[in-house]
Structure 1
Amino acid sequence: MNLPNKLTMFRICLVPIFVIFMYLPLDNKFGISLLIFIIAALTDALDGKIARKYNLITDFGKFMDPLADKLLVIAALICLIEEALVPGWIVLVIVSRELAVSIMRAIVAGDGKVVAAGISGKLKTVTQMLAIVLLLFGAQIDSSLVLNIGTFLIYLACLLTIYSGYEYFSQNKEIFGDR
């Protein structure tokens, strides 16, 4: 397993650690969870950069990297619902899109093809992660300004989620033509 794929697997391992800290009754649980989330998010940027720079792109990475992002973001958003920081309907929209795209990728993988993440999907992920960072940070420092910016970004992320889902399916509609 190459370094980018190890970083992807490390990000997946950080997900339950993030969730555990979100549920611990600590005064600084948002701060600790924020640190874990930032480390995980940075591995997302780092694994892709290393894979492209050193030509270490693999089908495993093309499939697992977006899956790791989905697991991290969905876990964080579900935790943020319970903290009343994100509306449940937004999480439902995001989870629905993520499942639909993942199912499409799995169907295509059965034919030996890989649908890599597109630019709109990457922008969606960055916006989701930035929103989560700001929401966690705003909750830790009890700042309504930071929370409001994070809330705006999570709504923007929801719109980007819908658009990128539409784009994935419209650009890959031929996949379903002979099924």
Structure 2
Amino acid sequence: MRQHAANLLTVVRIGLAPVFFVLFLLVPEWVPTSPWLALGLVWVLYLVMEFSDLFDGMVARSTGTVSDLGKVLDPFADVVARLTYFLCFVEAGIMPAWVFLLVLYRELAMTFLRMMLARKGIALGAKTGGKVKTVLYAVATFLGLVRYSVGGVIPESPLVPVLGLVFFVVLGAGVVAAYISFLEYVRAGWEQLRS
């Protein structure tokens, strides 16, 4: 059981993504009657998903059960979670749909590249650009939820447009880092194919 604990946490994170989406969509219905409760539930689920991401790697390393499945499953769970968060932001009107498409296209291209390299027996580890992208996306997600929460409870607050701008700047930096990291992966994959 111990060897499957990390992968189980990752699978739970994948399963919670659609729950988060549904809960996020229900918040506007609940806000008029109980905004704090509704937003609190969204935040609790978000934190559970983020901490499960932190703990699955820690569990795998501490128990010496890092597996090939985990190496594939964890980045997949990250993509599912991020795309879910960002789609929620599009639905809430705080993220343009075209930015979501840029994120989606990059992730699909990355998946395609990994599949092509896997057919040649090549597995690429995380590159610096990919790690920077992950951090920026995580910060953007947090800021987006803060912006959404403040807008849901105090829509007339002067913080709403400021938070929206900061969210968009950090998200934009994440998208730029994502495409730079994709080019890093293409170059690294090409070098391994040549060798």
- TM-score band, normalised by the shorter chain? 0.7 to 0.9
CA distance in 1, matches of 2:65, 2:135: 22
Normalization by structure 1: what TM-score? 0.88
2:154 aligned partner: none
Superposition pairs of residues 135-150 of structure 1, within 5 angstroms: 135-142=144-151, 143-144=159-160, 145-150=162-167
Moved more, 121-130 or 88-97: 121-130
How many percent identity over aligned positions?
27
1:45 match: 54
- Gaps of at least 5 residues in structure 1 are none
Matches within 5 A, 1:100-111: 100-111=109-120
Equivalent in the alignment of 2:182: 165
Please give the residue correspondences for 1:30-109 in structure 2 after superposition, counting only pairs within 5 Å: 30-109=39-118
In the superposition, the TM-score normalised over structure 2's length comes to 0.81
Aligned residues: 178
Offset at 1:35? Answer: 2.5
Q: Which residue of 2 aligns with 1:7?
A: 9
Structure 2 residue identity aligned to 1:43: S
Does structure 2 retain, via aligned residues, the 8 Å contact 1:38–1:133?
no
After TM superposition, give the deviation of residue 83 of structure 1 in Å: 1.0
Secondary structure of 1:172 counterpart: helix
**SS where residue 109 of structure 1 aligns?**
helix
1:43 to 1:64, Cα distance in 2 relative to 1, 3 A: same
How many angstroms apart in 1 are the aligned matches of 2:131 and 2:49?
15
